[in-house]
């Protein structure tokens, strides 16, 4: 797991230095950029009135995202675009609306004045803590044994492959951590967790989220067709779909195309992989603290201690784990009667993550992605193919004799 050499890295995706609070300092806006990131440039002199107005804009765009999320599938129902509309999740609408708002506010000269309200980091970390309430610890216990084995082997092998290939192509360590996490675990959610763990730039997170959606949508229809071509049974089909498609909604849509039994297995496999998200975030934190960006100098000259690891550790991961434990105890203790509380936590999680992606669009700078080139896309595409092949072999072997 060797890191790319500094000379080989793409300057467009090079991470900035972390601040004392453990978050990357955003670069200043360029003449052609979309403006400064939130909480850095302009936030110290921002008037409360501008901040309030900016928050109103973020919430308005978030509400519009929620509306589009339900309205678009409704109007597409019964058409050839119905499957596509169902698969498109809120990150797409939120980022697009944020980009549109970015353009409008920049044209009227208000974007920088409102930037202090674009609290991407706060929204993401709060959403991640709430995400823990939707990933129950006992899902592994209740999931089929083959699903656990598949998840452990598939996540590990795909992550290491994507990480290795990204290093060979000279990608920035933080960007390849996001790419490897998203393609191996659960798409956008895993990318968010990894971004907090490695202090990635917001442009890198937006880039990775876009790739997840770009590859997930065609997979909805491609995998069910390949299931027929390969003659897989329902359990094998569900395991393959759940282990490869990177968004939960897309997994559900693709599994439903094959059938109810395939959908059940796909959901179990995907949920089992999701549990590993916190484990990967902790591992990435340790690796980046001790190997990639150690305290006291470049290149690991001074080995950091446990205090350094704790200072750099993203505390929201602990919140994620605590929320997961609490939700598990709540679900086991209340049964169906407690589902309303879990649904509320999920709704709040979605609102915070929608606000986060809207803010990403509002503070996005096109220059970073334009200069990134083809290499991140190549890494993601190659890792996706690798995931499909390994996932197919595991599904065929582990679920060959599975009986519903």
User: Each residue of 141-192: pLDDT tens digit?
Assistant: 444 567 778 888 998 999 999 999 999 998 988 898 999 998 988 777 788 8
Please check whether residue 55 lies inside any domain of the structure.
Answer: no
Identify the pLDDT of residue 26: 37
Nearest one of 156, 211, 184 to 1, comparing CA atoms: 156
Q: Is residue 372's pLDDT more than 70?
A: no
Q: In this structure, what token pair is assigned to residue 24?
A: 């990357």
In this prediction, residues 328-340 reach a mean pLDDT of 75
In this prediction, residues 137-141 reach a mean pLDDT of 50
Nearest one of 166, 105, 165 to 362, comparing CA atoms: 105
Nearest one of 348, 369, 86 to 206, comparing CA atoms: 369
Query: What is the C-alpha to C-alpha distance for residues 81 and 88, in angstroms, rounded to an integer?
Result: 11
In contact, 365 and 172? CB cutoff 8 Å: no
What's the pLDDT band for 9 if we cut at 50, 70, 90? very low
Domain total in the chain:
1
Please check whether residue 91 lies inside any domain of the structure.
Answer: no
In this prediction, residues 92-114 reach a mean pLDDT of 86
| List of residues 6+ apart from 249 with CB closer than 8 A | 86, 87, 89
Please check whether residue 56 lies inside any domain of the structure.
Answer: no
In contact, 236 and 211? CB cutoff 8 Å: no
Choice between 38 and 402, residue whose per-residue pLDDT is larger: 402
The boundaries of the domain holding residue 322 are 121-398
Choice between 21 and 173, residue whose per-residue pLDDT is larger: 173
pTM check: above 0.75: no
Lowest mean pLDDT among 56-65, 115-124, 344-353: 115-124
Helix (H) or strand (E) holding 134: none
Please check whether residue 299 lies inside any domain of the structure.
Answer: yes
> What DSSP letter does each residue of 270-285 carry, written as one string?
HHHHHHHHHHHHHHHH
Q: Residue 256, exposed/middle/buried by CB under 10 A (0-12, 13-18, 19+)?
A: middle
Identify the pLDDT of residue 322: 81
Identify the pLDDT of residue 391: 92
Strongest mean pLDDT among 122-136, 279-293, 344-358: 344-358
In this prediction, residues 229-247 reach a mean pLDDT of 89
State how far Cα 24 lies from the chain centre.
18
Helix (H) or strand (E) holding 388: helix 375-398
Please check whether residue 392 lies inside any domain of the structure.
Answer: yes
Please check whether residue 63 lies inside any domain of the structure.
Answer: no
What's the pLDDT band for 401 if we cut at 50, 70, 90? confident
Q: Residue 114, exposed/middle/buried by CB under 10 A (0-12, 13-18, 19+)?
A: buried
Count the Cβ atoms, other than its own, within 10 Å of residue 156: 13
Query: What is the C-alpha to C-alpha distance for residues 190 and 187, in angstroms, rounded to an integer?
Result: 6
Long-range contacts of 18-24 (CB under 8 A, 24+ apart): 18/199, 18/293, 18/312, 22/199, 22/311, 22/312, 22/314, 23/121, 23/199, 24/199, 24/200, 24/201
Long-range contacts of 295-298 (CB under 8 A, 24+ apart): none
Please check whether residue 111 lies inside any domain of the structure.
Answer: no
Count the Cβ atoms, other than its own, within 10 Å of residue 189: 26
Query: What is the C-alpha to C-alpha distance for residues 274 and 269, in angstroms, rounded to an integer?
Result: 9
What's the pLDDT band for 39 if we cut at 50, 70, 90? very low
Q: Is residue 371's pLDDT more than 50?
A: yes
Q: Is residue 25's pLDDT more than 70?
A: no
Please check whether residue 18 lies inside any domain of the structure.
Answer: no
Q: Identify the DSSP state of 42.
A: T
In contact, 186 and 242? CB cutoff 8 Å: no
Query: What is the C-alpha to C-alpha distance for residues 149 and 402, in angstroms, rounded to an integer?
Result: 14
Q: Is residue 326's pLDDT more than 70?
A: yes
What's the pLDDT band for 366 if we cut at 50, 70, 90? low
Assign 22 to helix, strand or coil. Answer: coil
Q: Is residue 16's pLDDT more than 70?
A: no
Choice between 253 and 234, residue whose per-residue pLDDT is larger: 234
Question: For the chain, what is the mean pLDDT?
Answer: 75
Name the one residue in this structure whose structure tokens are 């992606």. 357
């Amino acid at each position: 797991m060797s890191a790319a050499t500094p000379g080989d890295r793409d300057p467009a995706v090079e991470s900035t230095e972390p601040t004392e609070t453990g978050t990357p300092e955003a670069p200043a806006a360029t003449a052609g950029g979309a403006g400064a990131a939130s909480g850095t440039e302009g936030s110290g002199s921002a008037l409360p009135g501008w901040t309030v107005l900016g928050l109103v804009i973020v919430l308005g765009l978030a509400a519009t995202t929620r509306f589009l999320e339900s309205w678009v599938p409704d109007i597409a129902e019964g058409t050839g675009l119905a499957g596509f509309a169902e698969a498109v999740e809120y990150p797409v609408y939120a980022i697009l609306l944020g980009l549109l708002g970015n353009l409008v506010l920049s044209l009227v000269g208000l974007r920088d004045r409102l930037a202090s309200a674009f609290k991407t980091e706060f929204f993401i970390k709060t959403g991640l803590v709430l995400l823990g309430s939707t990933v129950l610890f006992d899902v592994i216990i209740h999931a089929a044994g083959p699903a656990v084995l598949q998840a452990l082997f598939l996540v590990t092998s795909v992550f290491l492959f994507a990480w290795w290939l990204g290093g060979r192509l000279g990608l920035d360590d933080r960007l390849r951590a996001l790419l490897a996490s998203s393609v191996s675990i659960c798409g956008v959610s895993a990318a968010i967790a990894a971004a907090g763990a490695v202090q990635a730039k917001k442009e890198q997170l937006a880039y990775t989220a876009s790739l997840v959606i770009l590859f997930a949508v065609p997979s909805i229809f491609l995998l069910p067709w390949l299931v027929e071509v390969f003659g897989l049974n329902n359990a094998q089909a569900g395991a393959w779909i759940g282990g490869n498609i990177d968004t939960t909604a897309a997994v559900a849509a693709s599994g439903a195309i094959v059938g109810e039994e395939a959908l059940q297995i796909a959901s179990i496999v995907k949920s089992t992989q999701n549990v590993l998200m916190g484990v990967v975030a902790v591992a990435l934190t340790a690796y980046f603290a001790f190997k990639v960006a150690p305290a006291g100098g470049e290149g690991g000259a001074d080995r950091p201690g446990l205090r350094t690891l704790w200072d750099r550790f993203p505390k929201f991961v602990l919140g994620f784990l605590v929320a997961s434990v609490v939700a598990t105890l709540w679900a086991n203790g209340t049964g169906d009667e407690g589902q309303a509380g879990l649904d509320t936590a999920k709704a709040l999680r979605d609102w915070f993550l929608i606000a986060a992606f809207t803010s990403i669009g509002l503070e996005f700078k096109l220059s970073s992605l334009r200069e990134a080139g083809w290499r991140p896309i190549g890494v993601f595409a190659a890792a996706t193919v690798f995931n499909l092949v390994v996932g197919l072999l595991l599904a065929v072997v582990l679920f060959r004799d599975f009986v519903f």
